[in-house]
Structure 1
Amino acid sequence: MMRKFSVVIVDDRSLARKRLKRLLHENHPDMDVVAEFENIESAWEKIAVSGVDGVFLDINFEQQGETAGLALARRINLLKAAPWIIFVTGYPEHAVVAHDFRPFGYILKPIDEAKLEKALNKVREPAPIIRPPIRIEVRHKVLRLGENGEVERLFLTRFLVADEILYIQSQNGINAVKVYLVNGEVLDDVSIRLNRWLTDYDLPCFVQVHRSAIVNLKYVGGFKADLEKAESYLLTFKENPIELSVGATFFAAFKEAIRRCS
């Protein structure tokens, strides 16, 4: 069954409204014109109160100002369930500003039917499915002082998403890692080996930069020469003073990966 979109036309020119309505009726039967308006306030009452799927909107209104349509677009975008907007106007000079309102199209009069078709095809595209981020189960060690005054070792379980992790570093001599979080926490003695972070989990912006370290490139600012070691580099983070050594064998892959992730 064809989905119907309830739409309104907002234009102070009667002939412009009639032409657009005819084009929609003849070529785009899924666009149901439920109302048309020649002024901004009447249109706003319908859009804000009754709600529609889309708005075909002129920009220059003779009685209300040459950018009155942009003012209406601003109000529309503030709605919780904002309808999509396609600007239909005779003024190309407003295109840059109009882009701020994320319209599905900016069509100049007289209407080019191919451009109208293109804009409406964008409207018809199904919204992308936004999947929740993968959460990684992490078991880590904590130390606390017991009632008898002795230090007790406990293991707690956390569920982390990738954006919480700054970098991961192996612990010398044991098959465990430390996980350094963006908020400054350090999860100690995590029993997920370093190589498994890249093989067992979908972490596209994580890359190994040293035999003992994996970093989240989202937070990497760049790199600089390591003045204490010849032909060596230090990785720097955007908002963290920590610097990590980049192994020579990992440097080329690191440079390539950082171009792809930000």
Structure 2
Amino acid sequence: MEAHRLHPAHYLLKPLEDSKIDEALDWIRQKQAPSVTPVYPQPKRIMIKHRIDSSFDAHEWHTECVDPGEIVFIAKNKSVNNLKIQLANGNVLERVNGTIKDWENKYAGLGLVQIHRSHLINLTHLKSLKPRGNEGEDYKVALKNCPSELAVGPEYLELFREKLHKGVL
């Protein structure tokens, strides 16, 4: 009765047999619902709404239709709650609503990886990972089509390296 209160996935009787264990594990693998984050279909174009400053201190909202592969990096703007998106053509979309986590989750299939609490990069634009020189064990990344080098936060370095070694590129 106690076992049933715990909602067992399967049961085995003694003496244990390898074939019965394999059968039980196969049954569990087939029946267990995968615990993954929702997968969003990856769009061919993304509509990105951003704010620009026009003449006379007026603010205008523009919507850019962007090929997701053109996104080089996404950065959190300091002291304000919005993002800046660097595109491969050199354009920068400022004051985009959302968070780094929103973008990482929604567009995970595009190779976007968080490397710092305020930076998300597109791995297809990665040029190099290098030490920051005299600043200890910290690293920075250089990106194609971008003069900026971005810091890699120490808490993100191990996961970032794992993704690089798995051939996510």
Same fold at TM > 0.5: yes
TM-score by length of 2: 0.68
Aligned partner (choices 80, 97, 103) of residue 197 of structure 1: 103
* Structure-1 separation of matches of 2:139 and 2:67: 28
In 1, Cα distance between the equivalents of 2:134 and 2:63? 39
Cα 1:218/1:190, change in 2 over 3 Å: same
Structure 2: where are the runs of 5+ without partners? 1-40
What CA distance in whole angstroms lies between the structure 1 residues aligned with 2:43 and 2:59?
31
Residues 160 and 184 of structure 1: is their aligned pair in 2 closer, same or farther, counting only changes over 3 Å? same
Q: Does 2:125 correspond to 1:215?
A: no
Number of residue pairs the alignment of both structures matches: 128
The answer for unaligned runs of 5 or more in structure 1 is 1-130
Whole-angstrom CA distance in 1 between matches of 2:145 and 2:44: 24
1:157 equivalent to 2:32? Answer no
Match of 2:143 among 229, 237, 253: 237
1:4-153 paired onto structure 2 within 5 Å: 133-145=43-55, 150-153=56-59
Instruction: Write out per-residue CA displacement over residues 125-145 of structure 1, whole angstroms, 9 at most, x where no aligned residue.
Output: xxxxxx984322211011122
Conserved? CA contact 2:45–2:68, under 8 Å? yes
Tell me if structure 1 keeps the 8 A contact 2:42–2:107. no
RCO (CA 8 Å, sep 6+): is it higher in 1 or 2?
2
Q: What letter corresponds to residue 195 of structure 1 in structure 2?
A: K
Shift of 1:237: 1.7
Structure 1 residues 193 and 243: alpha-carbon distance in aligned structure 2, compared to 1, 3 A threshold? same
* Cα RMSD, aligned residues only: 1.9
Larger radius of gyration: 1
The CA deviation string for residues 42-86 of structure 1, in whole angstroms up to 9 with x for no partner, is xxxxxxxxxxxxxxxxxxxxxxxxxxxxxxxxxxxxxxxxxxxxx
TM-score by length of 1: 0.45
Aligned residue in 2 for 1:253: 159
Q: Is contact 2:82–2:95 with CA below 8 Å preserved after alignment?
A: yes
Structure 1's 220 and 154: CA in aligned 2 closer, same or farther, altered over 3 A?
same
Offset of 1:256 from its aligned partner?
A: 1.8
Q: In structure 2, do the counterparts of structure 1 residues 234 and 132 end up closer, same or farther at CA, with 3 Å as the change threshold? A: closer
Query: Is the CA contact (8 Å cut-off) linking 2:90 and 2:145 kept in structure 1?
Result: no
Query: What amino acid sits opposite 2:89 in the alignment?
Result: N
C-alpha spacing 1:151/1:197, structure 2 compared with 1 (3 Å): same
Aligned AA for 2:93? Answer: L
| Percent identical | 28
- Cα distance in 2 for residues equivalent to 1:165 and 1:225: 24
Which amino acid letter does the alignment assign opposite residue 177 of structure 1? L
SS in 1 for 2:54: strand
Distance across 2 between alignment mates of 1:195 and 1:223: 22
| Residue of structure 2 in register with 1:6 after alignment | none
Q: Deviations over 1:156-194 (max 9, x none)?
A: 112222211000000122221000111111101000211
Equivalent residue, structure 2, for 1:178: 84
